[in-house]
Amino acid sequence: MNSQQLLEILCLSRNATAIYTTENTVIEFANDAMINFWGKDRSVIGKTLAEAVPELQGQPFLDILRNVWLTGTTYTDSNTPAELLIDGKLETFYFDFEYRAIKHPSGEMHCILHTAVDVTEEVLHQQQMSDAQQREKDLTDELAAINEELSASNEELLATNEELKESYDNLQLLNQSLAENEAWFRGMVQQAPVAIAVLDGRDLIIDTANSYILDIWGKDASVIDKPLSVALPELEGQPFLQLLDDVYTTGIPFYGSETKASLVRNGKLEHAYFNFVYHPLKDGSGNTMSVMVIATEVTEQINARREIEKSEHRLNRMVMTSPIGMTILKGRELIIEIANENMLTIWNRDVDQVTGKRLLEIFPELIGQPFPDMLQRVFDTGQPFGMDETTADVAMPDGSIVKYHLDFSYDPLFDADGNVEAILATVNDITDRVHSRRQILHEQERGRMAADAAQLGTFDMDLVKGTLDWDERCRTLFGVSHSNPVTYEYDFVMGLHPDDRERVIQVINLSFNKAASDGNYDVEYRTVGFEDGKLRWVSAKGKVFFDENDKPQRFLGIVLDITDKKEDEQRKNDFIAMVSHELKTPLTSLKAYTQVLQAKALKNNDNFTAAALDKSLLQVNKMNTLIKGFLDVARLESGKINLDIEEFNLNNLIKEAIEEAEITLDSHNIVLEDDCPVNINADREKIGQVLNNLISNATKYSPRGSNILITCQHQQSSVLVSVKDEGIGIKPADMERLFDRFYRVSSPHTKTIAGFGIGLYLCSEILRYHKGRIWVDSEISKGTTFSFELPLT
């Protein structure tokens, strides 16, 4: 093979190759791949590199090359950025490259062999890998390991090169001139940092294979001189043997890209990916003699890319499926790379309206709000940043501004160099939550105001934790001025008046029993102030809340200071007692004297005096009834009516009432029409009072000699008593108010009739206390029927 052929091969190699001579780095040769890297054309051949690729000025390469020439020391570097002018645009590429010093046997520099692999994609992949955060760290480590392996093989290669150089030197001694080219070629093959093999003849006998391709094949030098199909029997069934045969027979090179091959390496079948060229090597007459194989394994890059794609996919999936708003903002420009459904909802935009756009272009209203600065700060510091419950004004497509309440966080996504490349923004719309919490606070405030207005204190006992919480007013009721924690045992129980303590604890225990009380709590008690020793009356109402097992969990309620009310009540009771005493005392002696006198008159047969004293007694009794009525009303008002329940026969009571009426009145004909010999449980005296009142009313408002009919009916669960007269009747307008206190029907007929308007009020109250009812039916000039009903139980 001559050097022309070699240059031809190098021309076709996908690995960028150039050869420079002289200290000024004159481009003797550059293949298309290299020229492509430079973004130039073939006219660069023969020029100095500085002339051909002027943008290299200021970058380190020209100096390095000069140094290689002057020192004869090969220079290798990887992942090195280079700025190259492509289509008039300066772009950054990354290269693995070598400036190999090729020397004459005499030790003088012959040329510099420049090989370069564009690893821009890989470098970018690596950067992306870093972006994909922790998950990709493993992968990065793996890559680092591979890099280590690579550099190890590089070292090996260098060692081999040293050996080669020695043999080359020896060879030179033997065949100074002619063998030079051949050796150079073989040396080039061996030195090339890519896998190269030359396969001779249609049988594809392995003529030359460098260590790289042997590594790829997973074989050693023993395969040399064997047909490929024998050396690599696993290729059977794969397309490569056929492709090589095609290249051999047609003379047309074949280029493969990221092609999968299965190779037995380290004793097992492995799947690997390659970029490769099958290039025919022809003799002078154009016949294909052999096929040159140049291959670059790209398995790791493909795996890395797949891994990146997978993790990117995962990140994207995570973003897209997140139940809260998420978006990735790329670069300080804040380009919206991706935004999930929730984010779009907050923005009120379609995916197409935002994707690939600058955040501030879509949402100019954010300028002036703190968010852009916060984002830039994350780029500056690399520290995540977040805030809870902040507000953001977002413009809707119609221009209206919506105020959102948000929790958000900005998490930096780093590139390979540890710079923040993008930000993952997580935004949770808590507007509803904030609104409802404000609503609750508002309600609580209203509740508090209401409690305050009503002067209610509150208590809240957590029965699980065993804590008790008293508000200020509640504390006041127990004579506590401090705001330290209080306890049930020491502050509540000990704060109760000793006489009330046992009773209140019983009531509370009952409230804790769901079946017995349904958790309702209603009690009045006295407290003795801790600090002031003051006696206070408290009305407490509350509710116990239970868990699903009816175990009490929480005990909430209110307390009201009823000391004044209690004192009023006491004063009222005292007053009633005093009035009873003061009014009844003269009546008592009057009645006693009258009765004594009457007895004397009867003894002396003084009938006139006896009859007169009889009338006096009647008036005394009437007076007594009036006083009693007043006192009853007063007692009713203060809730002091106590029913004295006993079992008695209702018929007998009705008969007694009729007899009593007949003793004092002989003006009417009182008839018990239906009787019902039923026993009822009620306050006999008070029901008697109702009957007396109704009979008395009937006689007052109906003409002398008319009938008063009394009926008693035993019903299913009650007893119904009616008193019917044939009197003047009651106007409908009056009927409604008849049972009001102090209400009197005013008409010419009633002017002369005595009374204060408390009788029916008392009747209705007595029945109310008995859980019964009273009502009236009446027709003007026909008569009136008063009826009352008493429950039988």
* Among positions 337, 421, 500, 632, the unique one binding other proteins when judged by CB under 8 A: 632
* Among positions 250, 588, 607, 669, the unique one binding other proteins when judged by CB under 8 A: 588
Half-sphere exposure of 53 (CA within 13 A, CB side): 27
216: nearest Cα among 265, 157, 276: 265
Q: What are 295's two structure tokens? A: 């291959």
Pick the stretch among 272-280, 402-410, 415-423, 579-587 that binds other proteins (CB under 8 A). Answer: 579-587
Given the DSSP bridges, would you call strands 718-724 and 89-103 parallel, antiparallel or unpaired?
A: unpaired
In angstroms, the CA 575 to CA 580 distance is 8
**402 to 387, 434, 679: CA distances (angstroms):** 19, 15, 75
* Among positions 590, 626, 633, 678, the unique one binding other proteins when judged by CB under 8 A: 590
Query: What residues contact 52, with CB distance under 8 A and at least 6 apart?
Result: 27, 38, 40, 44
Does residue 593 belong to the site contacting other proteins (CB under 8 A)? yes
Does residue 628 belong to the site contacting other proteins (CB under 8 A)? yes
Does residue 583 belong to the site contacting other proteins (CB under 8 A)? yes
Radius of gyration (C-alpha) of the chain in whole angstroms:
57
CB of 529 to other proteins, least distance (A): 25
* Among positions 535, 596, 611, 780, the unique one binding other proteins when judged by CB under 8 A: 596
**285 to 203, 236, 282, 293, 389: CA distances (angstroms):** 20, 32, 8, 21, 83
Does residue 604 belong to the site contacting other proteins (CB under 8 A)? no
**611 to 604, 659, 660: CA distances (angstroms):** 13, 20, 19
Q: Which is nearer to other proteins, 493 or 602 (CB)?
A: 602
Does residue 587 belong to the site contacting other proteins (CB under 8 A)? yes
Q: What are 343's two structure tokens? A: 């984010």
Pick the stretch among 182-190, 209-217, 271-279, 593-601 that binds other proteins (CB under 8 A). Answer: 593-601
Neighbouring-strand partners of residue 391 = 405
CB of 577 to other proteins, least distance (A): 5
CB of 621 to other proteins, least distance (A): 8
* 3-state SS, residue 9: helix
* Among positions 585, 667, 669, 715, the unique one binding other proteins when judged by CB under 8 A: 585
557: nearest Cα among 492, 463, 460: 460
Does residue 581 belong to the site contacting other proteins (CB under 8 A)? yes
CB of 565 to other proteins, least distance (A): 19
* Among positions 78, 517, 595, 625, the unique one binding other proteins when judged by CB under 8 A: 595
Does residue 618 belong to the site contacting other proteins (CB under 8 A)? no
Question: Is the four-CA dihedral 759, 763, 764, 768 of positive or negative sign?
Answer: positive
In angstroms, the CA 765 to CA 605 distance is 47
Does residue 635 belong to the site contacting other proteins (CB under 8 A)? yes
* Among positions 574, 614, 659, 740, the unique one binding other proteins when judged by CB under 8 A: 574
Given a contact cutoff of 8 angstroms between Cβ atoms, the answer to whether 544 and 512 are in contact is: yes
What is the identity of the amino acid at 271? H
Pick the stretch among 202-210, 540-548, 554-562, 620-628 that binds other proteins (CB under 8 A). Answer: 620-628
Q: Which is nearer to other proteins, 92 or 585 (CB)?
A: 585
What is the identity of the amino acid at 95? F
CB of 505 to other proteins, least distance (A): 25
Per-residue string for binding with other proteins, 353-392, x by CB under 8 A?
----------------------------------------
Which stretches of 485-632 are assigned E, i.e. beta strand?
520-528, 535-546, 552-561
Does residue 572 belong to the site contacting other proteins (CB under 8 A)? no
| Contacts to other proteins from residues 94-133, by CB under 8 A | none
CB of 792 to other proteins, least distance (A): 25
CB of 649 to other proteins, least distance (A): 20
Q: Which is nearer to other proteins, 593 or 756 (CB)?
A: 593
Please, is 182 exposed, middle or buried when counting C-beta atoms within 10 Å of its C-beta (0-12, 13-18, 19+)?
Answer: middle
In angstroms, the CA 731 to CA 472 distance is 56
Pick the stretch among 89-97, 391-399, 626-634, 664-672 that binds other proteins (CB under 8 A). Answer: 626-634
Does residue 321 belong to the site contacting other proteins (CB under 8 A)? no
The pair phi, psi for residue 781, each rounded to 5°, is: 70, -5
CB of 606 to other proteins, least distance (A): 17
SS3 letters across 327-363: EEEECCCCEEEEECHHHHHHHCCCHHHHCCCEHHHHC
Q: Which is nearer to other proteins, 299 or 595 (CB)?
A: 595
In angstroms, the CA 570 to CA 575 distance is 8
In angstroms, the CA 435 to CA 432 distance is 5
| Contacts to other proteins from residues 702-731, by CB under 8 A | none
Q: What are 51's two structure tokens? A: 């002339």
In angstroms, the CA 2 to CA 182 distance is 7
| Contacts to other proteins from residues 636-695, by CB under 8 A | 642, 644
Given a contact cutoff of 8 angstroms between Cβ atoms, the answer to whether 762 and 632 are in contact is: yes
| Contacts to other proteins from residues 135-154, by CB under 8 A | none
Q: Which is nearer to other proteins, 635 or 700 (CB)?
A: 635
CB of 440 to other proteins, least distance (A): 50
Residue 153 has a CB neighbour count (10 Å cut-off) of 15
Q: Which is nearer to other proteins, 161 or 573 (CB)?
A: 573
CB of 590 to other proteins, least distance (A): 7
Taking CA 14 as the corner, what is the angle to CA 9 and CA 18, rounded to the nearest 5 degrees?
65
In angstroms, the CA 775 to CA 787 distance is 6
Q: Which is nearer to other proteins, 47 or 572 (CB)?
A: 572
Given a contact cutoff of 8 angstroms between Cβ atoms, the answer to whether 479 and 527 are in contact is: yes
Does residue 589 belong to the site contacting other proteins (CB under 8 A)? yes
Q: What are 195's two structure tokens? A: 């896998």
Report which secondary-structure segment, H or E, holds 83.
Answer: strand 75-86
Does residue 332 belong to the site contacting other proteins (CB under 8 A)? no
Half-sphere exposure of 477 (CA within 13 A, CB side): 28
CB of 589 to other proteins, least distance (A): 4
Within the chain, what is the greatest distance between any pair of CA atoms? Answer: 186
Q: Which is nearer to other proteins, 373 or 582 (CB)?
A: 582
Q: Which is nearer to other proteins, 535 or 780 (CB)?
A: 535
Q: How many residues line the site for other proteins (CB under 8 A)? A: 28
Q: Which is nearer to other proteins, 437 or 571 (CB)?
A: 571
CB of 644 to other proteins, least distance (A): 7
* 3-state SS, residue 450: helix
Q: Which is nearer to other proteins, 522 or 568 (CB)?
A: 568
Neighbouring-strand partners of residue 93 = 82
In angstroms, the CA 297 to CA 274 distance is 4
Query: What residues contact 358, with CB distance under 8 A and at least 6 apart?
Result: 333, 334, 335, 336
CB of 592 to other proteins, least distance (A): 4
Residue position matching structure tokens 């009773």: 503
Q: Which is nearer to other proteins, 588 or 679 (CB)?
A: 588
Q: Which is nearer to other proteins, 517 or 595 (CB)?
A: 595
Q: Which is nearer to other proteins, 545 or 575 (CB)?
A: 575
* Among positions 577, 611, 671, 753, the unique one binding other proteins when judged by CB under 8 A: 577
Pick the stretch among 18-26, 153-161, 569-577, 648-656 that binds other proteins (CB under 8 A). Answer: 569-577
CB of 507 to other proteins, least distance (A): 23
Pick the stretch among 359-367, 561-569, 589-597, 748-756 that binds other proteins (CB under 8 A). Answer: 589-597
Residues that bind other proteins (CB under 8 A): 574, 576-578, 580-581, 583-593, 595-596, 599, 620, 624, 628, 631-632, 635, 642, 644
